[in-house]
Amino acid sequence: MGWAKVALVSGVLVVLGAFGVGTEVSRSATMADHVQHCGSAISASWLVSGTPEVTTHPDAEERAAAAACAPVIRQSQLLVLTAIGLGGLLAVLGATALRPPVGLGRPRQPAHA
């Protein structure tokens, strides 16, 4: 039973940690010897409705920056979402192991009329 509690708590901590990293850590890319700040893996538009994602009419510089940031952000999203998924799986495994076995309880007594 001890390992199940550790798995449950560890899974929850991994999910929370990965979410924190995904929302707070800002990634960057280098384009033409210029560092372009790309933002976080989990953008605010995913969390709060009405938050603008990008400008409606990007100019050439903004399109180039978006093209440079796309693979960096995609890789970051993949790593963060994988960590969240694995943490969730670990938490479910621990929670499932903590449940009492079904059908192994006290046998039911027949009702007497």
Per-run averaged pLDDT (10 residues), the chain, 113 residues: 91 95 86 82 79 67 81 91 96 91 67 66
- What pTM did the predictor assign? 0.74
Q: What is the pLDDT of residue 87?
A: 97
| In a domain? residue 106 | no
| In a domain? residue 14 | yes
**104 φ/ψ angles, rounded to the nearest 5 degrees:** -110, 15
Residues in the chain: 113
Q: What is the pLDDT of residue 36?
A: 83
Q: What is the pLDDT of residue 113?
A: 59
Q: What is the pLDDT of residue 34?
A: 81
Q: How many CA atoms lie within 13 A of 78 on its CB side?
A: 6
- Which residues span the domain enclosing 23? 2-48+59-98
Q: How many CB atoms lie within 10 A of CB 14?
A: 19
| In a domain? residue 104 | no
Q: What is the pLDDT of residue 88?
A: 96
Residue 21 exposed, middle or buried by CB count within 10 Å (0-12, 13-18, 19+): middle
| In a domain? residue 103 | no
- Do 77 and 112 touch, CB atoms closer than 8 A? no
